[in-house]
Chains A and B, each alone.
Chain A
Amino acid sequence: MGIEQKAGNMGVVTARLEDVINWSRTNSMWPMLFGLACCAIEMMAAQAANYDMSRFGMELMRASPRQSDLMIVAGRVSRKMAPVLRQLYDQMPSPKWVIAMGDCASCGGVFNNYAVVQGVDEIVPVDVYVAGCPPRPEGLIHGVMTLHEKIKQEKLKTWA
Chain B
Amino acid sequence: MTEIREVSVDELRHLVSDRARSGETMLLNMGPQHPSTHGVLRLLLELDGETVVSCIPDIGFLHTGVEKNMESKNYQQAEVMTDRLDYLNPIGNNLVYSLAVEKLLDLDVPERAQVIRVILAELTRINSHLVWVGTSALDLGAMSLFLYAMRERELILDIFEMCAGQRMMTTYVRPGGLWRDVPVEFEAAVRDFLALMPARLDEYERLLNNNPLFLERTSQIGIISKEDCLRYAATGPVLRAAGMAYDLRKARPYSGYETYDFDIPTETAGDVRARYLVRMAEMRQSLRIIQQGMDRLPYGPVRSNNRKYVPPPRSEIGVSMEALIHHFKLWTEGFSAPQGSVYATIESPRGELGVFLESDGGPKPYRVHFRTPTFPNLQIMPLLSRGHFVADVVAIIGSIDIVLGDADR
Contacts and interface: CB of A to CB of B under 8 A. Distances in A.
Contact of A115 (B2, B40, B65, B169): B65
Interface of A, secondary structure class, is loop
Contacts of A35: 39
Interface residues of A, number: 41
Interface in B26-67: 32-35, 39-40, 60-66
B65 A80 contact: no
B147 A49 contact: yes
B126 to A, nearest CB: 15
Nearest to A44: B150
Given A36-B40, A42-B168, A79-B2, A113 B405 contact: no
Contact of B64 (A50, A78, A87): A78
Interface string A53-81: 00000000101010000000001101111
B4 A83 contact: yes
Task: State the majority secondary structure of interface residues on B.
Answer: loop
Contact of A136 (B88, B167, B408): B167
B81 interface: yes
Contacts of A36: 39-40, 62
Contacts of B32: 81, 84
B67 to A, nearest CB: 10
A65 B146 CA distance: 23
A112 to B, nearest CB: 8
A151 interface: no
B1 A82 contact: yes
Given A36-B40, A111-B69, A134-B169, A78 B61 contact: yes
Contacts of B60: 78, 80
Given A37-B404, A113-B64, 6 more contacts: A35-B39, A37-B87, A41-B87, A81-B61, A110-B81, A111-B66
What 9 pairs across the A-B complex have the smallest Cβ distances? Answer: A48-B150, A115-B65, A38-B87, A113-B65, A63-B35, A81-B61, A49-B147, A113-B69, A50-B154
Interface of B: 1-4, 32-35, 39-40, 60-66, 68-69, 80-81, 84, 87-88, 131, 135, 146-148, 150-151, 153-154, 157, 167-169, 404-405, 408
